[in-house]
Amino acid sequence: MSAKRRMPGVLAWCVFISACMILVGLPAAGAQEKYPSRPIDFIVTWGAGGGADAMARTIGQHAQPILGVAIPVSNVPGASGNTGLGQLMAAKPDGYTIATYIMDTLATIPMGLSKVTVDDLEWVTRTQVADSFFFVKSDSPYKTIQELLQAAKENPGKIRVAATGYGTVDDVTVRFFEKKGIKLTTVPYPKPGERYASTLGDHSEVLYEQAGDVLQYLKAGQLRPLIIFADKRHPAFPDVP
Dist CA 208 CA 205 (whole Å)? 10
Per-residue pLDDT at 167: 79
Domain CATH for 158: 3.40.190.10
Q: Within this chain, do residues 72 and 137 fall inside the same structural domain, yes or no?
A: no
Domain-terminating residue out of 80, 96, 122: 122
Report the b/e string of 146-172 with b at 16+ CB within 10 A: eebbeebeeeeeebbbbbbbbbbbbbb
The pLDDT-based confidence of 177 (bands split at 50, 70, 90) is: very high
* Domain containing residue 56: 2-122
Where among 69, 98, 122 does a domain terminate? 122
Q: Is residue 127 part of a domain?
A: no
Give the residue-averaged pLDDT of 116-130.
81
For residues 149 and 103, what is the distance between their CA atoms, to the nearest angstrom? 25
Model confidence over 34-49: pLDDT tens digits? 889 999 999 998 888 7
Number of domains in the chain: 2
54-112 pLDDT, tens digit per residue, is 888 888 999 999 999 999 999 998 888 889 989 999 999 899 999 988 877 877 887 77
More confident of the two residues 14 and 169: 169
pLDDT tens per residue across span 144-170: 999 999 999 999 999 999 998 887 788
Predicted pLDDT of residue 1: 60
Beta bridge partners of 133: 209, 228
Whether 34 and 63 share a structural domain = yes
CB 207 within 8 A of CB 223: yes
Q: Give Rg (Cα) of the chain.
A: 20
Please indicate, yes or no, whether residues 85 and 174 belong to a single structural domain of this protein.
no
Q: In what order do the strands lie in the sheet with 185-188?
A: 185-188, 160-163, 206-210, 132-137, 223-228
**Which secondary structure element, helix H or strand E, spans residue 10, and what is its range?**
helix 10-18
